[in-house]
Structure 1
Amino acid sequence: MPRFSVVVPVFKVQGYLRECLDSVLGQSFTDLELIAVDDRSPDHCGAILDSYAARDPRVRVLHLERNVGLGRARNAGVEHARGDYLLFLDSDDSYLPGALAAIDAQLTACGEPDLLVFDHQRSWWDGYAEASSFGDRLAATGTQTFSVAEHPELLQLFHVAWNKAYRRAFYLREQLSFQPGLYEDAPLSHEAMVCAATIGCLPRVCVDYRQRYRGAITRSPGRQHFDIFRQYASMFAFLDRRPRLDAHRALLFERMAAHLVFCLRRKERIRPADRRAYFRQAARHYRAHQPPGFTPPRHAARDFRLLGAGTVPGVYPLFAAREMVRRGGGLARRGVRAARGRLVARYHRLYYALQRRLPLQRDLAVYAAYWYRGVACNPQAIEAAARRLAPHLRSVWIVRPDAVASLPPGTDHVLPGTRAYWRVLARARYFVNNVNFPDHLVKRPGQVHVMTHHGTPLKHMGLDQQPYPAAARMDFGKLLRRADRWDLSVTSNPHSAEVWDRAYPCGFADLPAGYPRNDRYATATAEEIRTLRARLGVPPGRTAVLYAPTARDYRKGYLPRLDLERLSAGLGEDYVLLVRTHYFYGRDGALRDLHDRGLVRDVSRHPCTEDLCLAADALVTDYSSLVFDYANLDRPLVVHAPDWESYRDARGVYFDLLSGRPGDTPGPVTRTEDELIAVFRSGTWRGPEARALRAAFRERFCPWDDGHAAERVVRHAFLGQPLSDLPPATPLTTRHRAPTPQEAESASLSASPTVATAPVPGHLGPAPKSLG
């Protein structure tokens, strides 16, 4: 008997069906059967299903003799199910990686409940994906289970069939089944919820709910949407046969009435010509099923009262007039907001122009990083050095509103678009950023712009991107006008200086200082490294491997290049895998699931990359500029490059990272997961050949990162010292570097300091017990 029976009804989805089936059969959790019901589909769906059944014994195909519709097709699948739990998946949707493993784990943690509700996301045809609004409510229950009697708000969760796992014995005992017609999900979902004695919740996003450009039933207006009345009539008939459920009747009635009004207001469902007839039928339905003493909720009281009186002549015109006012009010409010926005923009342009006529504040320095995402990177290190070396300067950071909560205590800041923002842009003497300031910034005579950049270039940058369509989605004229504002370009090695000179052929001066953010790699102490590892959940004696891939120009969205679960298993218990996705991407549900299961540590939201590098014994990356920074630590580097040719051809690169030539390649190179696992299991990652490659790479790319880069920038840019008077870089052979984690642990054996174990801000929490 399998753990899960996944029932997939199939009709006219030949373009999406393989993706759906692969998302089920490709799950890491394999104890399942897939029951695909061919609802007499007129396209190639039947043949596709048969081909899958021929090569995977877990697939069972039912070919119906006639088209019966979505609900009855699901019922047919249930009749053949043998699993402990039933799951329904629509054939144009899909499961996200790790979904079934997460569902299985939560079912076990919840004590095998009658019902488990899990989260989903909506994906549109243009690639945009949006998380549901139910995540917080699902997370609030933890591993506890409840009934609707205990928590009536459970009925407010999305009422569809495919976001739940139903214990099959419960499903059959309660005689649950889908009714024919549209909106078949709603009654069954509500019936299951009120019947279940134990309901668990899983906040993990498990289902990708496809929003098709055309062909979706919910976006096809017509009389078929009148099926909703028959569906809710069946639900109340279900309640009539079960007097024990009468306590839930009022709440289910409220959910029904809200659903009826919701559909009426959607032009993609109810056509204008059908609205009067729909309203009248909804009113009759309302009066027929209204429980005695029912009180409408305050937020919907007017709508419900109109439905209750809807059979009286003249009520529908009143409802329609109210809708017209409501929609007109919405348009008016949007118009007012737009007009207000234009007025505010004009005011700010005038205010900015007036402020630019006032004298510069020569003690004011403005800092920004990563498009105002917060205090970070090279600007952060420069500001810290300026506080020490140039205390007369006042520092102000520009940050987005969502970054304010994470600012270090006491950080003086302004928000983009505010009067204070325009004032500091107009009056400040110094500007420091690791990306370009917006085009609306007008550089005044006497202002000094320091461009710190945020990485050593492997991929083509600036004008060098023009031959590569994947990267060249920009106005290069505007790009050069932004670079024309630079006075100083901070570089960490001669390679970067050469690239910036060609890629941005403007009038700035090169400042060969090293990267200020890399100063910590020369100054961090053993105690600091021990503390970082404890906070990240790395037990003493374990080898921490940081996997930090970069973004892909030729792909949209986060695309894992490794089977992290397989890599974790291949490395074994002696290793802890820290995974950091690129900051361009949001949270990844599959990665979070692996973190929750204790297989990896998801450090994607950790606020400081330098912390992660200091805590790691080795770095695995692909084409990320982090490889150049990490080389300063003189710790093992492994390049895992499964898509090198695609990346190189789409973006262009300045040298062949995989060539194996000294100076080009920082360590072992792998192209497959087996090769990567073998590099660590065999010890190649830290062998003599790896050390020799790393030494040549450091010599080429780390000549100036000696711990004094920020000081050089402050002395030259803010204090006016000539480059010739700045302290020269310490040679690599005599340079101090931070101790390795092994050295840090050895140093602790005699001192035995107390190590903090509180989670690092932005991290997901302490290490799971399975990590030691």
Structure 2
Amino acid sequence: MTFLSIIIPFDTVERYLKDCLDSISEQNIDDYEIILVLNGEKENVNDLINSYDNLNIIVKSFDERLGVARARNEGLKMAGGEYVYFIDSDDYLYKNALEKLVNTAKATHADFINGERMATPFIRERFEERFTKKSKYPMKKGKLSDMEFSMRQLVGTKTNKKEILSVLHSLIKRDIIADTLFDENDRFYSDYFFMTSIFPRLNTFVGVEEAVYAKRNRDDPINLTSLNQEDHGDAFLSYATAYRDVLEIVNALYDKTHDEKYKLLKDEMAFTFFDYYYKVFGPNFLYSDDENWRGHVFKIMQEISYEFNMNYLSFIQKREIKAFQENNIRKLTRFIKIRVNFKKTIRVFKSRWRFKTFIYFRYYNRKPINKNQFMFASFLGKFYSDSPKYLYEYMYNKYGDELDYVWVINDKNVEIPGNPKKVKRFSLAYYKELARSKYWVINGRQASRLHKRDSQKIISTWHGTPLKKLGLDIGNVHTRDPNIKKSYIKVAKEWDYLISPNHYTTEILRSCFAYDGDILETGYPRNDILYNATPEQVQKIKDDLNLPSDKKIVLYAPTWRDDEYFDAGKMHFTLKLELDKLQKAIGDEYIVLVRTHYFVADKLDLSPYKGFAYDVCKYDDIAELYLISDILITDYSSVFFDYANLRRPILYYTYDLEKYENILRGFYIDIHSEVPGPLLKTTEEVIDAIVNIEDLKKEYADKYDEFYERFCSFEDGNASKRIDDAIRK
């Protein structure tokens, strides 16, 4: 007999399934079978499955979408193992997690062996970062018995609060399950019926320390919602009703048998609901606009409160629960207000940003709005640049002092024409002017902690025609904040206008930000200068940079990579273009301007190449660098879409193309066939292309024309005028 049957229902998202199977393949286990139930799959995953020749995978495929309960039932019908183990295809295992459960089962032959489930938004490669906070460490057994520890892990403390019982990450003897099946009519809580059905037959329980199962919160709540992220309608009512059904069964079994396992299970469930009462119900009872928190939710929670184990509560907590049970609203409100507001106050005064945000919402946001005030910000206040700069200059030249202008600029010594008010990002002055400004002009996303008032307008000019995947279109998120996709949706809902340079960009921005507001297909204000600049302006830029007048100019502008991080949002960067070779080969004719992404602009040292390579990372306006450059070298940065307006040669130094295309981001266009220049893998190839640049211009002339028509045809030097006409009509 096979020792272990692993049952995996699969519905969607191949990259999640890959994480799941990868994590199983790294467990040191043998004598097992994996039963993979393809549950009406929308993706062809055969190639992925076939790549795991080291795993014993049995595939059962259904054309229709079965649902998780039926998919598990189909897996159970096929399971021939002594033990059965359930894992969801969008979850994965921490190192040695299943191995520890299997070894414990072989040593104890217990009926039920489980580990800890831990909810996480992190991709698998970064899951261990979940443990950086003390409260997130895997739980310890301490003085708990095997059964007590097993029950604590079964109910869970670090998973979805609406998940009281789960079959996941537990070894269960197959003969104890017998003919028990999941309730296929219960979409959200089929685990509860299954667990309460087999519970009377389970006699020995073992909870295993540090055998951690990652319960993934899917990173796209719009397109890839998991079952536990779906809208249940009245979620609390559904949750509480399921809890009461389970409690009724467990109480009846305990009354009949007085078996300790039922009491332990009741206590853990009650603790989970008390935690929900304390952290979720209390604040919503006070402040939610939804009256249900003071209506039917109140009544249900009140009934459940009689299950709370008062022995574990503090004196103050006991008094609050007593007031709750006695329906003493005045006293209950006072208790909840004291603890909720105390916690808020502590949080506000423990961090500067929370204190400033508190002032913003409670004081500045109650002041009148100046209907003539515009606030501009470019790249988080690091530069006076990009489309906000050119829209500002157009408006200042047209309206002068009729309007009030504020610039978010971290270096107040930066010269800005017209003498606008300058504020440093996230200073108190920033919050004050933000609250007063009728219009916010930004070139990215505003901070998610901020919310405009109804009469304020946000104009997001964005900052480029997309090549690499953005927002919800990105696969696995490698950045520090794995919840970032949720913030994309949240901040985009507040935009009033989104600026687009072409139809292609319009469709992508709508999709990747789930944006349904107004999109202005005007072209980018930052490209106006590419059509309007005079020869005198171009020469002044060269003079300001102290560049030699007898050399041609190559602009090297690579993007950053999502995996270029090393700690808590800090980025590292290594220049891959070999400047020493470039200098020897073309130094007599060319100089190189190096402009990295603003995320890594502080990481560059070009001192060994003085007189040949110039660091222009902190030069505010890349559009001015375009104007003075004869050739652009880039990779996956959107700069080449803008540079193409000049119809000058573009080279693509794509040394890590396969990794970037298939792992880190992926592209919206076919970079192999659609870009108007060659894809180069080595510095030697870059040198050869520059030396033979005239031949390349002829080779790519037709493709360049097609590219220009698709991506640049809206641009004519009048984007700023069109935006002004639209937002001030």
TM-score (norm 2): 0.49
